[in-house]
Structure 1
């Protein structure tokens, strides 16, 4: 294995593999470094939207049906423990095992000739010498570096020389429980919960042989997130959870403004690309990884392209602009001052749940969705219906 590459990718999740696969497919030598050895555990609800599917099919030469283990065409919406609305016959709601999902993407990248250094943590990045030093002491030189190394990104800290501020993130907790051990009747569709946790939401997702139960809320030192999760699970299951809770930080509308610097590009969770309303992150990961690769390809093509100009054009037009609007809506949906109004509008509207699913699927923009909510809310307030 070489010690010098045109592009080095830190992180082998969906954003990193999308970038590496696209680069290798276009004849550019690339290496992925990841601190884990795959297959590896990945804490995630595992929900896949039609937007994820479309992004996946645009990048990878894989069969989509091999990437998920359960699908549904309906969903239930809850507010403070009560069903307030539902969707029927929507289609294209998918649920995956992230261990297998991510591993298949990495296998696809290696099949294209991507070199992989597993079980190695990025320790130091020398942006002058363009050298990445690993925890083992090994050094890899690069011409371009793509930071796909998650919420605790080492690459991102080269952009902002400080530790991450936990108060600007959300904390997610979840458990996977076998269907036979779940106290309530069998679930065939996902359930989304609002009002059970402050500034966040909960979920129960069906899988092939299990259910994923979780909550996500804005991080706070004053809130006992584990107790909130135990209460949420007990309310859903009818009995307390006796196993080990798994938790992690995620971006919550905390996306990066600076994403290109010193021939480094941030993608996926390293750039904070998780939707604070829907929780969508995998589609943004694949899309940003692909756009980063396109920027590198353009830069090495001899066309005198600037990676910053190429990547930012897509980043700002297709990703960060939407996340900025999502941040605005986040306050209305999760704030204790306005959530009840929005949930009341949701409970009275036959079409709003479908608009929400269209938002998840990428068929409705935030600009359109916010306009719909405003109209529905005004109608309820001023017309009483």
Structure 2
């Protein structure tokens, strides 16, 4: 049997636990200060009925540090392993750490950031001698002696067969050659924090976007630089914890996250009406959707991971490697707020529409919404609805107080029956 074969090293972090006592996983290695990890020291690589020699007898087939970007291109890319840095941030409003004593403000929400991390590696492929469990001590010694003189220049099986013939062993099935690999780190890992930095920019007064304060009767619509608005509201992002995780989450697929709509208002209208159709008594065409552009993040990078298979010849072995490829895109992220109103609201109550719009902007621009929406949209929606409803209750309560509701009894005297003596 020739060792020229296809071989796929398992570079995944979620591989089964080590099968050799005291072994550790590739994930454990990647987060340590060690620079080299040999698979055969942590996992059993021999097929059933065979065991590795003691001590293990391995010989290097070759190393690879790059793979071709595609078969038709001479370009290549470094091999790297990829994981993610997960950070959770608490959002505080009203904090002033320059005051004495410091004012810590109130916590209004939290959000998560995930930053891809890459570690460039050198992947080395080895052939490892394994011996049949049924081999005698004499046969085992002869096989190991043959491989001790092997330099990798010829086929391992043919070399061992000739050496065993010299020792009087004719059973070629007494040994096998298994492929295995080692990983060597090259340099330090790289954290790709562009998305996190864009999310934190307004908290650090670095701008990054604009905020729309909404309409006021008799005044032009006001827009403000986002960092300035966060500073006025004293919105602060405080790191709660950070951890390394195996998998970078895919870009959000939440229903309220709409990507590249040709017409944002139409897409939001469909989103709102689809939700209304699922809510008892809220379907039908008697409602109108009103949507408002609240915040714009001008530069917002995103990341995702695409697993691809690469083929490369390493010595006499054709290696098929599945590798994570980090992809990125940069766009603009807009936060919109919307509300449904009765279709005839404009005709029957302009004041009511003005109240709704005022409450939409007040809720959307609250710290617990605008401060966390990019990293925790579902929580921001819950906060938005709560603040909106409270605002609406207050506005309607103010109106009720001015209405002075009461009761009156009306008396009518019969004709010819004015007051008279009895």
Q: Structure 2 length as normaliser, TM-score?
A: 0.24
Greater Cα radius of gyration, structure 1 or 2? 2
Which protein has the bigger strand share? 2
